[in-house]
Amino acid sequence: MLTADELESRREEINAGGDLGRLYERLLQRAGPVLERMPPVPDTKALLTANGGVCPEDGTRLEFNPWSPRDHRCPRCERQFSGARHDAAWAHYQHLWLAERAAHLATLGVLGERDNAARRAEQLLQAYRSYSEFPNRDNVLGPSRLFFSTYLESIWLGNYLTAAILLREAGRLGEDTAEIVASIADESAALIGEFDEGLSNRQTWHNAALASVAVWFEDEELATRVIEGPSGIVAHLLHGFGADGMWFEGDNYHLFALRGQLLAMRWAQQAGVSMLADPRLSERVAAALRAPALTALPDFTFPARKDSRFGVSLAQPMYLELWEVGLARLRETEDTADELWDWLGRLYLSPAPPAQTFDSYLQEAGEAAPLHPRTRADLSWWPLLEMLPSVPEQTPAWSPGSTFLEGQGLAVLRRGNRYVSLECGPLGGGHGHADRLNLLVHAEGEYWLPDFGTGSYVARDLFWYRSTLAHNAPRLGGESQPTGDAVCDNFEHSGEWAWTRGHFGELTRSIVAGPSYILDVVELAGADDRLLELPLHLSGAVEVQSLGRWEPDDVPDEFVRQVERLGHEPAPVVLRACGEAGVSLGVHLVADGDLLRAIGPGAPGSSEPRSFLIRRARGQNLRFVTVLEPSRGQPLIGAVRVIDSAIEVETMAGVDRHLATVEGWEVRTPSGVVRLRGGRQQPRAFQPLVQLDRPVPTRGIAVQIGDPPELNGTTDGFDPSEPLQLDHDDQYRRSEDPYAGPEEFSAQAYVNWNDDGLYLAVQVFKADVHPRDPSTPPLQLDNEPDEIHADGIQVYVRLPGQETMSGWLIVPSTVNGELIVRPVSNCMNEGARVSGSWQPTGQGYTVTAAIVPAGWTPPGPEEEVGFDLLVNQTVPGRMRRAGQLVWSGGGGWVWLRGDRQDPGRLGILEVR
């Protein structure tokens, strides 16, 4: 990370004492246990499973203790657990922690000329001499030997090579160690280089790892490709971080991607490319450092928008380092972002959070929680190489105020310690939630209307946290919002007032924030009667101050229970949510509909369910008006009234009359008229970095027959004149290995039909057949159906005129030639029927099935049916499927696809 000359001058700065001297001493102290004895090195690959590393009693993540490879403690119930799955989960963090320690010790060895640290760092490098024996299989997202996903391998390799390169620069790397390092760098880089993820938070880490490999081998060609290539370091800086500086996948991935990005840029610098010399790039780095400070909640946690952990403080040591390193680098440029030094200072002064377990930061693992706020001396090896020796003096104060983040479509209305945000803008890729027009409120120290972020990716409740009902966002028709982008139409702040308005399809939400209260208006303007629901996840103890009785009601949802409706007179409902230390939030609900309350999951990681409210109404033109009044003492609002199109809020000071106007919003207050406008240009549509061209759809023919075929696991009775072939390289979705060819794995299918439905015969050619034993205990790998990891097929049908497809996972059973049939989630399967059987053939197996899709009517002449057939491939010795053949083609990777198929990819069956 630093050249020999740079190391020499850094040594002098550390020897001068100050913050760097203190950080050095603290790092030396922290290294004590590892210097004392060699830590355990896992001899197994890390595995991601639903039950590994998780308390079987309460679902809490088991503590990661680098010194305890076999016994794993639950921090909640304090019991110890053991077993291979827990060990494999432990290995995930241990591999990462060891590479981090290697970098840590090498830094001490080189900068402090500590022989014992340099020697231990070298031992840690040598400990991976059997790297190539770790199996590259059963991965979840991309090839990897030590882990289950490529990005983890990338994080690991970056730290591993940091240690090796530092030692080499200081002349402390033995030749035999250098040989081990070279062979690992070579092999690991091949895996990482093969799995290009395009524009992705993970790709920033792949770029960092590949750039470190380029530095290790002094490979200029690789360096150029990693820096300038289409998914390289420059592309990620300019396209991954929006003009507002925020990463397109939200705060959590912003912080993760920014660390990868800053590390990658450091390696690029060592390879001779100084990106910050280009003002466009340094500006973007400054914006990326500013963005999370702009969206931070008043308690210095980040709002858990999209897939994010909930309630994580930006004062985590991992995040403090982003500003230390980033701001230090910007000092050399025009955009110094100097006001962020004050922001960073406030983070240091805020209560120190216990360090969380992060893939990219494990320095405090196994240590006790800090007793005092962290200082600059409590950081890791990285700032020892890069941070300024002292914080610059007389920098401007940080005062964020109300702000609009263009790329995120996020409006933040701030006043004192009150924070209100409305989220419009794009969904945000695969980590986005169905939460457009979500409202967050944090005031008087309480997160009154929170965003819960996401818990575990392998747990069932992932579907809850990504649903609309888990947010303070409106939904229509009793279903989560469809995938799509919302648009912010207005944003303006003027004196004591601020407002914003956004729309999402037929829904509009206006938020007006004044000196003492927040007005929230959700409107539906549609052509048909729709069911509109608006959940409100209020924190604190909620009291209903209106008269009325709760009566049983229903909101059909897997995660929601004990639904009740408040039976009351048609008058406003007033609630009060009471928080800590006498603060409260008054909630006035006016206008259309019913008020429901229900129990749903609590914040991720809490096993406590939590009560929440839902406003509900049906109609064409609907309006929900809510006034929220956070207060520390006596509330000021007397009443809220809706009179025609005006909304009146009566306070101690008089009546505020709110009215939507042509250009925006008007508030007539006792002291004058406030006009809010701030109309916005429609933003340009988000352009992904890698544009996938829609191919011409694959075509086939479904032949009409008279009598149904035998359906006995042979092609008896089928018309075989129009076979569908699955035997081409382009039809194979691979995992670790590419397509081995049709001799190893291929399929041929016949689709016939008559008035009663479709008939499908699939002949699969492969060496070993693994039917599924229905009594097998669950694999507990993740939240996907286990049957995708067995031999079997996935079938998707979209009849003429249908918008939604039907889909099934159909798997040979060990019992009597039967089929195990599972409807695919998110498909329309009501009233659909599948029956049939299978037989082994000596060259593989044949599945035959009668399929009556939902809404089946015999297609007319010349009509076309959307269709796809996928064949999963199991291979002996693996837990997860090796790949799948896809009739419609397209190639690509099989990872994370579950039992789903993109409806836009379906091929076409001509009906004859």
Angstrom distance (rounded) from CA 232 to CA 221? 13
* Nearest approach, Cβ of residue 80 and Zn ion (Å): 10
Total interface residues for Zn ion by CB under 5 A: 9
- Quick check: 905 and 696 in contact, CB under 8 A? no
Angstrom distance (rounded) from CA 660 to CA 59? 48
Angstrom distance (rounded) from CA 859 to CA 911? 7
* Nearest approach, Cβ of residue 512 and Zn ion (Å): 24
* Nearest approach, Cβ of residue 312 and Zn ion (Å): 14
Nearer to Zn ion, 468 or 698 (CB): 468
**Binding-residue pattern over the window 806 to 825 for Zn ion, x denoting contact by CB under 5 A:** --------------------
The residue among 259, 374, 254 whose CA lies nearest residue 322 is 259
Give 108: exposed, middle or buried? Use CB within 10 Å, 0-12, 13-18, 19+.
buried
**Binding-residue pattern over the window 600 to 639 for Zn ion, x denoting contact by CB under 5 A:** ----------------------------------------
Nearer to Zn ion, 427 or 769 (CB): 427
**Binding-residue pattern over the window 411 to 440 for Zn ion, x denoting contact by CB under 5 A:** ----------------------x-x-----
Give the footprint of Zn ion on residues 724-753 (CB under 5 A): none
Locate 89 and state its tokens: 């989960």
Nearer to Zn ion, 65 or 546 (CB): 65
Q: Report H helices in 573-723.
A: none
**Binding-residue pattern over the window 40 to 79 for Zn ion, x denoting contact by CB under 5 A:** ---------------x-xx-x-------------x-xx--
Nearer to Zn ion, 244 or 435 (CB): 435
Nearer to Zn ion, 74 or 106 (CB): 74
- Cα 770 from chain centroid? 34
Nearer to Zn ion, 27 or 473 (CB): 473
**φ and ψ of 395, to 5 deg:** -90, 155
* CA-to-CA dists, residue 599 to 470, 563, 612, angstroms: 11, 7, 6
* Nearest approach, Cβ of residue 433 and Zn ion (Å): 4
- Quick check: 578 and 540 in contact, CB under 8 A? yes
Nearer to Zn ion, 250 or 907 (CB): 250
**Binding-residue pattern over the window 484 to 523 for Zn ion, x denoting contact by CB under 5 A:** ----------------------------------------
* Nearest approach, Cβ of residue 602 and Zn ion (Å): 14
Written as one letter, the residue type at 203 is: Q
Crossing angle of the two packed helices 150-169 and 115-126, in degrees rounded to 10: 140
Nearer to Zn ion, 86 or 658 (CB): 86
Locate 425 and state its tokens: 């803008």
Locate 292 and state its tokens: 């999370």
Give the footprint of Zn ion on residues 73-112 (CB under 5 A): 74, 76-77
Nearer to Zn ion, 609 or 817 (CB): 609
Nearer to Zn ion, 59 or 540 (CB): 59
Using only C-alpha atoms, what is the Rg of the chain? 30
Torsion of CA 213, 216, 217, 222, to 10 degrees: 40
* DSSP 8-state class, residue 788: G
Angstrom distance (rounded) from CA 855 to CA 798? 10
Nearer to Zn ion, 141 or 469 (CB): 469
Nearer to Zn ion, 60 or 123 (CB): 60
* Nearest approach, Cβ of residue 783 and Zn ion (Å): 17
Nearer to Zn ion, 77 or 349 (CB): 77
* Nearest approach, Cβ of residue 710 and Zn ion (Å): 50
Locate 189 and state its tokens: 């880089």
* Nearest approach, Cβ of residue 427 and Zn ion (Å): 11
* Nearest approach, Cβ of residue 75 and Zn ion (Å): 8
* Nearest approach, Cβ of residue 76 and Zn ion (Å): 5
The residue among 159, 107, 105, 150 whose CA lies nearest residue 128 is 159
Give 43: exposed, middle or buried? Use CB within 10 Å, 0-12, 13-18, 19+.
exposed
* Nearest approach, Cβ of residue 428 and Zn ion (Å): 10
* Nearest approach, Cβ of residue 450 and Zn ion (Å): 10
* Nearest approach, Cβ of residue 435 and Zn ion (Å): 5
Nearer to Zn ion, 442 or 881 (CB): 442
Give the footprint of Zn ion on residues 127-186 (CB under 5 A): none
* Nearest approach, Cβ of residue 835 and Zn ion (Å): 40
Nearer to Zn ion, 435 or 629 (CB): 435
Which strand ranges, in their side-by-side order, compose the sheet holding 446-449?
Answer: 403-405, 410-415, 418-423, 438-443, 446-449
* Nearest approach, Cβ of residue 734 and Zn ion (Å): 32
Could you tell me which residues are beta bridge partners of residue 848? 761, 837
Nearer to Zn ion, 433 or 897 (CB): 433
Angstrom distance (rounded) from CA 655 to CA 572? 17
* Nearest approach, Cβ of residue 77 and Zn ion (Å): 3
* Nearest approach, Cβ of residue 73 and Zn ion (Å): 9
Angstrom distance (rounded) from CA 470 to CA 599? 11
Q: Is 143 left (phi over 0), alpha (psi -120 to 50) or beta?
A: beta
Nearer to Zn ion, 39 or 52 (CB): 52
Locate 260 and state its tokens: 């990868």
Strands 584-591 and 792-798: unpaired
Strands 699-704 and 745-754: parallel
* CA-to-CA dists, residue 497 to 415, 661, 675, angstroms: 9, 16, 9
* DSSP 8-state class, residue 679: B
Nearer to Zn ion, 312 or 583 (CB): 312
Give 338: exposed, middle or buried? Use CB within 10 Å, 0-12, 13-18, 19+.
middle
Strands 80-81 and 665-669: unpaired
Long-range Cβ pairs for the range 240-243 (8 Å, 24+): 240/199, 240/200, 240/201, 240/204, 240/689, 241/284, 241/287, 241/288, 241/291, 242/405, 242/406, 242/407, 242/408, 243/287, 243/406, 243/407
* Nearest approach, Cβ of residue 58 and Zn ion (Å): 4
User: Which spans of this chain sit near Zn ion (rule: CB under 5 A)?
Assistant: 55, 57-58, 60, 74, 76-77, 433, 435
